[in-house]
Amino acid sequence: MDFVPLRIKTVQPDTELSFDLYIYYKDHYLCYAERGNALTTAKLEKLINQDMADFYVPEEQVDNVTLFLDEALNEAVYGEGKSLEERVDVVSEVAAQSIERMNEEASHKNYDMTQKAASGLRTVIKNNPNALKKLFGQKTKESDLIINHSINVCALATRLGEHLRFKEDEIDDLATAALLHDIGLTKLKVEDLPLFEKEATAHTPDERLRYSQHIKLSQNFLNGKDFISKRVEDLVNHHEEDLTGLGPLKVRKLTPLQECLSLCNAFDKRLIVKKESPKEAYKVFQLDYIGRYNLELIQRFEAVLVEEGLL
């Protein structure tokens, strides 16, 4: 039997499972909970806190999982009586799950799930003051660094996009592109992966070249799939570009959407890689990133950070 991974935090307590839940233990897949059963809050908390095992679902039941995640997402976005923490937790976990799935396979189903997660994340942030603050206050596991970075960029870019009054469909594409923008990193050679955690200005010319491969790799991975929006592909391709022309594609002119994604990416990299607080990162940004982005855009970004209580 083949298995697909499942992030345990996407499982809701006291909700009947529509699939068999397995754990991988000592080289074996063991059935932990059968379809039709539910996990209690206490049991789930224990599993999450112990962080002791990886969870899987038989591949033939993957469509049930997709439906299950759809419902969880819907409930987190629109359900009544949910705490802000629950909402943020579930939407970010479903987003993380969709990024992981896309990493595995850029299929139509996985792309749809990513779009839904991006839109869910956007709605929760829009409807709940303090949601962005909550998201940025979450602890990051080292193994989830790139995924969390992608979620943060999605949250920031959609807020900035709304502030700039981009069209609805543009913001949706921006959100999806943000979740997928670093998909090429997972395709880099293992020895090149630590380059993500090194500040771009500290890269040697050779390292810069190797790191910039992740753009080409994303492009190859997403290319030729007609269900992927051309605008999403274009945004992913340009996320490391800025107005200096020193990005991998060496372009000096960016569309407002491209510049918005690039700025949010550059900002969040400081938080994730240098472990700076939004306040600290913005201080540097204000001084060192002038010339890389339009001053007006930086100022609009500051307004968003203030509005969201991050400065």
Please identify, using beta-carbon distances, which residue of 131 and 154 lies nearer to Fe ion: 154
- CB 153, min distance to Fe ion, A: 6
Please identify, using beta-carbon distances, which residue of 22 and 293 lies nearer to Fe ion: 293
Please identify, using beta-carbon distances, which residue of 119 and 265 lies nearer to Fe ion: 265
Q: Please calculate the CA angle 262-267-269 and round it to the nearest 5 degrees.
A: 95
Non-local (6+) Cβ contacts of 163 within 8 A are 300, 303, 304, 307
- CB 152, min distance to Fe ion, A: 9
Please identify, using beta-carbon distances, which residue of 17 and 254 lies nearer to Fe ion: 254
Please identify, using beta-carbon distances, which residue of 240 and 308 lies nearer to Fe ion: 240
- CB 306, min distance to Fe ion, A: 23
- Per DSSP, what are the bridge partners of residue 239? none
Residues that bind Fe ion (CB under 5 A): 182, 265
- CB 285, min distance to Fe ion, A: 15
Which two structure tokens, joined as six digits, stand for 58? 């038989």
- Per DSSP, what are the bridge partners of residue 56? 5, 22
Please identify, using beta-carbon distances, which residue of 11 and 106 lies nearer to Fe ion: 106
Please identify, using beta-carbon distances, which residue of 6 and 183 lies nearer to Fe ion: 183
End-to-end CA distance of the chain: 50
Could you tell me where the DSSP H helices lie in the chain? 41-50, 62-78, 84-104, 108-127, 131-137, 145-163, 168-180, 205-222, 230-237, 256-273, 278-288, 295-307
User: What is the C-alpha to C-alpha distance for residues 295 and 24, in angstroms, rounded to an integer?
Assistant: 51
- CB 265, min distance to Fe ion, A: 4
Please provide residue 3's backbone torsions phi and psi, each rounded to the nearest 5 degrees. -125, 155
Which two structure tokens, joined as six digits, stand for 94? 């479903």
- CB 77, min distance to Fe ion, A: 25
Residue reference for tokens 């969040």: 268
- CB 244, min distance to Fe ion, A: 16
- Over the range 281-294, which residues count as b (16 or more CB within 10 Å of their CB) and which as e? bbeebeeebeebbe
Q: Are the beta carbons of 281 and 270 closer than 8 angstroms?
A: yes
